Amino acid sequence: DTGVSQDPRHKITKRGQNVTFRCDPISEHNRLYWYRQTLGQGPEFLTYFQNEAQLEKSRLLSDRFSAERPKGSFSTLEIQRTEQGDSAMYLCASSFGPSAGGLTGELFFGEGSRLTVL
Judged by CB under 8 A, the residue of 11, 19, 21, 43 near another protein is 43
Judged by CB under 8 A, the residue of 42, 53, 63, 84 near another protein is 42
Question: Within a 10 A sphere around the Cβ of 40, how many other Cβ atoms?
Answer: 5
Burial class (CB in 10 A: 0-12, 13-18, 19+), 87: middle
Residue 106 within binding range of another protein, rule CB under 8 A: yes
Residue 103 phi, psi (nearest 5): -90, 145
* Binding positions for another protein, rule: CB under 8 A: 4, 31, 33, 35, 40-45, 48, 50, 55-56, 91, 93, 98, 101-104, 106-112, 114
